[in-house]
Amino acid sequence: MSFIGKAFSSCTHASNQGYSCCKDCTVVYEDEAGKWGVENDQWCGIDTTCESQSDCWAAAEGFKCCSPGVKSILTDSKGSWGIENDEWCGIVDQKDDGSCWATAQGYGCCTGCEAIMTDDNRKWGFENGNWCGIIDSVCNKQTTTTTTIKSRTTTTTKERITTTSSSSSTGSNEPSTQTKPGWTPGNDQVLPGYLSTKGRYIVDEKGRKVKLAGISWFGGETTNLSPHGLWAKPLSHFIKIIKDLGYNHIRYPWTNEMLFPGAKTQSVDQLQNPDLADLTPLEVMDAVIDACGKAGIKVYLDRHRPLSGGQSELWYVAKVDEDKWIEDWQFLAKRYKGNPTVIGADLHNEPHGTACWGCGETKRDWRLAAERCGNAIHKVNPDWLIIVEGNDHYGEEGWQKGEGYWWGGMLKGVKENPVRLNTPNKLVYSAHDYDKNVFMQDWFKVSNFPDNMPEIWDDKWGYIAKEDIAPVLIGEFGSLLMDNKDVKWLQNLISYMNKNDVHWTFWCLNPNSGDTEGILGYDWTTVNTKKDNILTPGKAPNFLLK
């Protein structure tokens, strides 16, 4: 949507010389003709309506200006618009006089100038575990900008501006200097260092007990080869939602196709994410990890599928054999070594079917394969947690004639056949658990459902935490919340995990998971507060276990 009514506005000083009008009001140069900005590396003229934005600039468009506190709904070339009394109104920004504009929205202002995201023409940073506003007038004084423009009498083509900064902050438009992929110095301020295990607990480098309570953001494992929703909203939009809702990590699903020669992402929108649209799938992963790190969110990587077409029973298929599986994991482990944002590897998503646990057959025994892969990862990156999912059955008569459970959810075999890593204090077991909307299991049909679930959870995976064998992470769980029994099931699961120090990653952020949907609606903005509120008692925004 855009607003019409430019009778009182003008950037003729630009159009007369063959330039377009700027979409915003950021002035980088002024000469005798007028004020100029730069967009998409091209000069553009600043509209004269920008002169009056301290008053009611929207009057020139035939609209009133909003009362203080009205939320921005839309931004076009004139400014930000809200709705008040069922009428569009223009939002008047207060002058940036060095005061803390963010207090009006319940936030403080930053001491530094590193911007993580921009909304409504305001820049936001993240310090001491909280969002904070960037004061441009203060930060601009810390930078030195030189602008070169050709003589107006000899040419109508302006040169690209060159900017040099005397500060290493990212308050300017220049990208921050990264020392390694997916990493900007200072990204580990919320929870510095790496994680290890002690009994059922995950601990940080100071020995403090840490709780992982996060969310999956899928898409990297699909043919898009990048997280879904980047066609609709900027990356910063999703990072802010995840952080503001109190999730402390994301699970990033990926497929080995991401690392195939010539692999390209699909559906990353050029307008919403201009910095990501031309990147490779691996570089998009870097960017997501870096953005998470800046916001104090951890990431673990989930090898969800060998190929984007679908999940596999075993950890290998014809086009991606075991050697390739391990080789790609080692590649990622090397790439993110020294980056505390990335905390671990979920080795393979949902082994099932022919995948056994403890049967001793090299080609089928998932427990043995997890040992081989986990130890190989630790040879190149000893800091990572190794996250090992279960399979889907316990007991072997031929195969899969034993006791069944969810794909990736059966960890009953750990008692007799535990995973043996050369670095044992880096092992985390992971199970997946769902409700009746995914599949009507027998235990959902009994009269006391869902109050019967704690006994089932004890039997399948909960005993590992209860007996202090190792940490347990429920790496996927979710629900459509179709009825009160679904609600009670989810409430019971959160309560059980809280009581037994079980970690979790909710499935999922995305709305487009058919049998569960997600935390976000199909506008990729609206939060399903019914789900989120049930999860809230289990969250740990600052990671530390209460």
Active site residues: 350, 476
Paired tokens of 100: 């803390």
Task: Dump strand ranges (E) for 160-316.
Answer: 162-163, 196-198, 201-203, 209-210, 213-216, 249-255, 298-305
Any idea which residue has 């423009």 for tokens?
149
Give the integer Cα–Cα distance in Å for 286 and 182: 4
Paired tokens of 253: 């699903």
Give the integer Cα–Cα distance in Å for 401 and 162: 69
At CA 249, angle to CA 246 and CA 251, rounded to 5? 135
List C-alpha distances in Å: 379 to 159, 202, 302, 425, 471: 51, 21, 19, 15, 22
List C-alpha distances in Å: 214 to 193, 297, 438, 462: 18, 9, 21, 19
Residues counted in the chain: 546
Paired tokens of 208: 């403090």
Of 295, 298, 275, nearest in space to 287 by CA: 275
Give the integer Cα–Cα distance in Å for 267 and 134: 31
Most distant CA pair in the chain, distance: 88
Name the residue type at position 126.
F
Give the integer Cα–Cα distance in Å for 216 and 508: 5
Q: How many CB atoms lie within 10 A of CB 49?
A: 23
